[in-house]
A and B are shown apart, each in its own frame.
Chain A
Amino acid sequence: MPLPVDPYLAALFGSETRVRTLAPLANSPEPLTAYRIAALSDVNRIKVYAELAKLARAGVVRERPGGPHRSLWELIDDDVRRIFRRRIRVFWSEERARSEPDRARRAREILAEPLPEIDLSKYPVDPAKAAEVRARYAKEFERPPEKGPSRKDGWRRG
């Protein structure tokens, strides 16, 4: 499945292929092979190599040895990385595993605090806006009886 390309990034970087090549690099905590970039971005590997070569000449990415007959590529421009991460997100299981202990700790801290008391009357509802928003989200928020909350607490697996 090809990565969606943000039109802003396509305009800024001049090419959808370039954006698709950079997106996995920008989102990866580690350097990637061209093969992996091509698989994640659904771009032909030859095109990925061509883009990486141009980007390397411009100093945007760098090639590193990754073992016998293997090269790794990394994005070396942090500004480009930040721009991409706000607009194209790719998430790998390795990154999830690495960040999980810290996230779990912060979640425990949140749960240790009382649930915030939210006074909804503080947020005035404009009737016209309410009608518009309810029409927009009706299908998602209007739950038929068969979508009852009783199924929320854990699943059985075969």
Chain B
Amino acid sequence: MATRITKREVENTVASAGSKPETIEYLGALLGRAVGEDVVIVGGSAIEIHTSGRTASADIDVIGPRASAIEAVESWGFVRAGRIWRREDWGIDFDFLGEHMTGSRSKTVLRETPYGPVRVLGYEDSLVKRFVELKYWPTAPDWRADLIRQIQFLLEDYGDSLDEEYLAFVAKRDGVVDILADFRERRSRSVERRDE
């Protein structure tokens, strides 16, 4: 059931966040309550949450009911700027990607916040999407370096608790089995070096 979240409540929530990943989580939680349905944080902001801010994202990519999400953030002072909704004084952008999620909802991570729970794209889907972007999209060197670090941090923190069957399925579907294997091998060697 949707709940009316006032602009003041959102402003107080953002002020209470201790970090950028927390801000993303808190806004995601409020947005979910405002629209009365699951929203899922995806993309770079999902990875920023998973890595506790060691990687950075430009905006908050959201999967969820688009119309009601837009209505909610506009009531919070966000203004449309092309495809995104922006609150200039916070430097926060939302990108509403619609309700179709390229990834598994059951693999999303439910993160508890003081403002309610928020769903974040799962580790396997986050990894595969970064492999996909590396392999299939032209990327500038600095962005490529960011992608590599995101992959390294995700594998380091979650590499031992991945759903291997699902990861293999998605990697095969998206043609990134080779690059996944390479990064895992690099991680193994890196861990060996650090343990010496």
Contact = CB atoms under 8 A, between A and B. Distances in A.
Given A151-B58, A151-B91, A158-B14, A110 B108 contact: no
Interface residues of A, number: 58
B52 A141 contact: no
A107 B53 CA distance: 11
Given A123-B179, A139-B97, A116 B112 contact: no
Nearest to B101: A140
Nearest to B175: A129
B36 to A, nearest CB: 9
B191 to A, nearest CB: 9
Nearest to A85: B161
Among all A-B residue pairs, the 6 with the closest Cβ atoms? A146-B82, A89-B109, A129-B175, A6-B106, A86-B163, A155-B91
B43 A140 contact: yes
A152 B57 contact: yes
Contact of A103 (B20, B93, B112, B157): B157
A152 B56 contact: yes
A118 interface: yes
B89 A158 contact: yes
Contacts of A96: 52
A65 interface: no
Interface in A2-53: 3-7, 40
Interface in B103-161: 105-113, 116-117, 119, 122-123, 129, 132-137, 143-145, 148-149, 152-153, 156-157, 161
B74 to A, nearest CB: 16
Given A120-B134, A152-B58, A147 B106 contact: no
Given A140-B61, A151-B93, A146 B81 contact: yes
